[in-house]
Structure 1
Amino acid sequence: MEFTNKYYIHLLRVLNEKGYEFCSYHNNDENEKSVILRHDVDFTIEKALDMAIIENKMGVKSTYFVLLSTDFYNIFSKKSFELLEKIMLLGHEIGLHFDEKRYDINTVDDIKKYIESEASILSKLLHKQIQVISMHRPSKLVLENDIKFDKLVNSYSSNFFKNMKYVSDSRMNWRENPIELIESGNYQKLHILTHPFWYSSENETMEYKLLNFLNKANIDKYDFMNDNFRDLTSVISKDEIIR
């Protein structure tokens, strides 16, 4: 299967043709046949916005989960904040993508404490109450406990994994063909996870996508430094870092 924007558009069209209602984590029980689209934003918010625009043009709404504790992007920067605002203005929901490895966690209560803290921070930043969370590389502790929150929906709760057919493109690999699952007619409730990072206008290998991302990161850092370091070009030119 291709990891292209064209393929993703095809997937959305097949869902629509087969009568699935695009729902959120808050209203998926209102329709007999529904699908939740979940997107984990692991590396870049720019790619998330690209996917959000595609969905908006097709009248689709979904949920984008962003990390607070990551070295790949900074949601508190002006650039990242504006990207998240654009995603929300397109009608999509922002959720918290929680990385357990950021903390010393030993119990479910530890997880709940830190998740609620991060959700509060993200809510204040976006001026909008965060209502749903997903786990980044979930541990055995998370997977073996159906963790409940007073004011947050846990996307890893049994309702979304046992009562719905879950399929993911993790590591650029669909373990089950999503188009075949949709067309089979065997599942009334679907829970589909994608990672926007993998999707692009052209069909590319994983190696190409990763190398391109790493090279672009160097250019972005140069541009940022140029804005904050006087006469950077007299010391090093952008051409010297482009490979």
Structure 2
Amino acid sequence: MEFTINAYVQLLELLKSKGYEFCFYNEINEKNKTVILRHDVDFTLDKAVEMAVVESQIGVKSTYFVLLSTNFYNVFSKQSFEKLIQIANLGHEIGLHFDETRYDIHTLDELKRYVEKEAEILSKLLDTKVNVISMHRPSKFTLNNDIQFEQFINSYSSKFFKDMKYVSDSRMNWRENPIEIIESGQYEKLHILTHPFWYSTKNETMEAKLKDFIKQSIADRYDFINSNFTAFDQVIRREEIIG
């Protein structure tokens, strides 16, 4: 499967044609044949918005997991906040993408405390309760233990990670072919993880996608400084940096 928007749309249309109902995590038992679409937003909210718009246009809902502790985007900035609200207004759910390495965690109780802390912060920001958590680059401890939270759904709990058919495109690599899995008709419950960062309008290599992101990051940084620094373009012209 190519990592293009068109290929992703074809995947969604195949799911629809096979009778799958798109659902949130708390709706998994409401229908017999269901699929959860999970998106981990690791690098940029822009790609998440693009995917959210496409899904909405074809009547699909999914869950977007965002990081609070990342150097790539700031959910509290006006621009980022507006993007999150746009995703939610398109009918999607926002969940917490929790980075265990942000904290010095030694026990399960400590993990739960930090998860609850971040979920509360995100809930207050969005003015709606965050109900579901996904771990960012989960540790063996997280993967090997069926961790249950009192107030939140853990996307890596056995119910979603083992009892359902789980397939992921991590590092731009489908470990199993999602098309074959869907067409096989073997699974009533599917849990599909994608990373919006990898999807673009044309088929590109991982190297090309990463280089484009880095170049765009430079342009974004210049524009941000320019909007916060009087007459910045008189000090450094944009073409000197961007080319």
TM-score, normalisation: structure 2: 0.99
CA distance in 2, matches of 1:158, 1:108: 17
CA distance in 2, matches of 1:233, 1:219: 13
C-alpha displacement of 1:235? 1.2
Matches within 5 A, 1:88-167: 88-167=88-167
C-alpha displacement of 1:183? 0.2
**Size of the alignment, in residue pairs?**
243
User: Aligned residue for 1:58?
Assistant: 58
Give a deviation string over 1:176-212, Cα, whole Å, max 9, x none: 1101000001111100000000001111111110000
User: Aligned residue for 2:67?
Assistant: 67
Give a deviation string over 1:117-149, Cα, whole Å, max 9, x none: 000000000001000000000001111211111
Q: Compute the RMSD of aligned alpha carbons.
A: 0.7
CA distance in 2, matches of 1:143, 1:197: 23
CA distance in 1, matches of 2:94, 2:224: 26
User: Aligned residue for 2:218?
Assistant: 218
Which stretches in structure 2 are left out of the alignment for 5+ residues?
Answer: none
Q: Give the 4+ runs in structure 1 shifted more than 3 A.
A: none
Identity among equivalent pairs (%)? 65
1:19 maps to amino acid? G
1:230 maps to amino acid? T
1:90 maps to amino acid? L
C-alpha displacement of 1:152? 0.4
C-alpha displacement of 1:83? 0.3
User: Aligned residue for 2:23?
Assistant: 23
Conserved 8 A contact 1:49-1:87:
yes
Conserved 8 A contact 1:108-1:141:
no
C-alpha displacement of 1:100? 0.4
1:88 maps to amino acid? A
Give secondary structure in 2 for the equivalent of 1:19: coil
2:142 maps to amino acid? V
Give a deviation string over 1:134-181, Cα, whole Å, max 9, x none: 000000111121111111000000000121000000000001110100
Give secondary structure in 2 for the equivalent of 1:32: coil
User: Aligned residue for 1:195?
Assistant: 195
Give secondary structure in 2 for the equivalent of 1:29: coil
2:78 maps to amino acid? K
C-alpha displacement of 1:111? 0.7
CA distance in 1, matches of 2:143, 2:3: 28
User: Aligned residue for 2:86?
Assistant: 86
Matches within 5 A, 1:30-49: 30-49=30-49
C-alpha displacement of 1:35? 0.4
CA distance in 1, matches of 2:120, 2:89: 21
User: Aligned residue for 1:185?
Assistant: 185
2:239 maps to amino acid? D
TM-score, normalisation: structure 1: 0.99
Which stretches in structure 1 are left out of the alignment for 5+ residues?
Answer: none
CA distance in 2, matches of 1:12, 1:114: 35
Give secondary structure in 2 for the equivalent of 1:43: coil
Conserved 8 A contact 1:68-1:118:
yes
